[in-house]
Structure 1
Amino acid sequence: MTENERAARTLKHVLQKPGNGSCADCGADNPEWGSCSLGVFICLACSGVHRSIPDLGKVKSLRLSRWEDSEVQFMSERGNDAMNAVYEAALPVYYYKPTHRDCHVLREQWIRAKYERQEFMQNGKKLIYEDETRDGMLMKRGRDNGQFLNRRFVLSLRDCTLKYFTKLDVSVSAILVNILAVLIAGNNVGLSLIYSSRLDLLKRTEKNTLNEIVEWFNCIRAAQLHYLKVAFPGATDAELKPKLTRSFLKEGYMEKTGPRQTEGFKKRWFTLDHRRLMYFKDPLDAFAKGEVFLGHRDHGYRITIGLPAGTHYNGSWQYGITIETPDRSFLFTCETDTEQKDWMRHFNAKIKHCSIRLQHDNGLKKEEEGV
């Protein structure tokens, strides 16, 4: 057995230890890279970020690179759980720790904050996200014309408000942080702020670095957590954390036709949230063009694969889905078989869950009525 084969076998054994089976930074399964200087196992995407930051040291492929015995020993003595306990020891509950599903911007800035700036290693250290106020210029997308205009934004932790100004001294809107559904980053040029009444977009310009955008993101989350703790004084951090970010069950492109089902199929961006399937012309659109409610099977909701016979179809995407509701049917097509099956899985799981919930509620009602 060669030295490299022996190292590969040892590394494979080290990967079996708890915590090492997923990326130390984004949680992706089966990491194939390792940081020789940090002692963590990471995925391909995160390894690219590590390589772009000289101060983080060297990363190597677990399968293709040559490993020294000292490097293998270093990895064996450390590992993801041990090193995350060091670098994430004081990670605030409000700070958004991205997953492998998130965009490159969030992951890159997370890795920089975690290792390069070492922001989360010391308990009691006040972070910039917790400042009483944050004041800065950002590009905001308008509601009607879709244009991005430079606006001054002021976030107040004490007042739980986010205000923006058309001029530097005139307030045109004050938005309570507590009504933020809060943002999900869907691209690498901007972050969306989702409100209960409207959606505005902050877009990066030459004056707004990626780091600034992510800082705003986490400052808003810190302010919202502050409000939630006031509103729900007995709640734990674990109970409040899910309220900080609105995560869609699935989002992506499909094609759809109109209510008469004779119109051409048009490409739309879809988001599935609880029982609502919303669609937009563009992922950055401020308002949905429409939505489909996913109700109970017992109420006439049904999901079938394919399109009804005789459907006039002029698109290029061949993998159809039909959603039947009590009022009408909605027709969609997906680009690939994989996407079709994934959307079907989410749709069926949702209406099945709704049906089980309805049966449970009906059972409780009968018990209360003594049936």
Structure 2
Amino acid sequence: MSFRLIGIGILLILFSFGSAFAHGPSWENPPGNGPPEHAAPKTHPLSNHGPNKNANVPNFVRENIFGQEDEDSDEDPEEEIYNITFTELNETENIEITVYEDKDNAKKKLDSITTDQEGKSDIYLTKGDYFFAVSADYYKNYERSFSVEDTDIDIEFEIKTLSEVMIVSNQDELNKALKDEKIATIILQGTFDSFKIDRNDITILGGTINYSDMDYGIKVDNVTGILIDGVTVKEDSDKSTRAIKAMSDAEFTLKDSKIITDSTAIYLHDNPLKGGNEVEFTAKDNIIKDAELGISGTRHSVLNEIESNTFENCTVGINLDRAVTSTVIDVEDEGLDALYDYLKNNNDFINFDDNIKIETNW
């Protein structure tokens, strides 16, 4: 019996040694020892690295197993973020800029930032429509829209300090402000009668001009650098008038304004019979209603951008002399038809047929 048990034990010992030699040494790490120096590296069977690289693994398998982005994923990609730099042209510091999102006609405040010693300030935004406003102590470009597309952008703006701005609420204050050379921006609060601008570089903001005695509402007389912004001009007269009358050598811009008259809304009068010089004019985002002539220009009219204006219930929307020129369309090379198409395609004409005439007026 004892010899039999001893024999069985010897057989078991021999069997263990045989298995070890048949399968080679075990690479299991004993406590306190590192892996043998000839151990083969372990690789994932679908890894695209190491000696077992499998180049034929389908992309969607490789991407999902190894954490790469799945091209077929339904998840929205992360939105791009763009750097928006605001630059105050006079390098004025400590100007507070408030940025709002303009989405689905809802305005949402995003952040307030302040310009540094160089008049700059930055904010980071995704694609979309926005607008910014500067502190209420400043009025030039107080509120301005902008869009973020596919690139970082630099928005330049210029402000006026209170010493250069005057808020007026009656005709006497307006007349004094127009004569004061220190005043660059006049803010109209209320309703006013006719007035004439006869010095350069003035901005008129807001207010209503309800004129009756003079043959014009606003007269731009032989001056340049004039901006009329956000003004409403109404005619209260039975005689033939011009809501805005610009004389020889004038240069002005009309934007975001409204003119209601049954005479001429905007008259560019270069006084050609007396050898007058050109009148240069820009018009954007205005509404002109019920006018016999919306924009009327004589021989030496020079048109800059005439865009996004609405002419409603007019007899003629735009009436120009054939000698008109343009800084947008090269009339000499492209012809008056190109100017006609530009004006027709970039403005709206509602409830009347005679949209644009270009003919000899003088």
TM-score (norm 2): 0.28
Structure of larger gyration radius: 2
The structure carrying a bigger strand percent of its residues is: 2
Higher relative contact order (CA 8 A, sep 6+): 1
TM-score (norm 1): 0.27
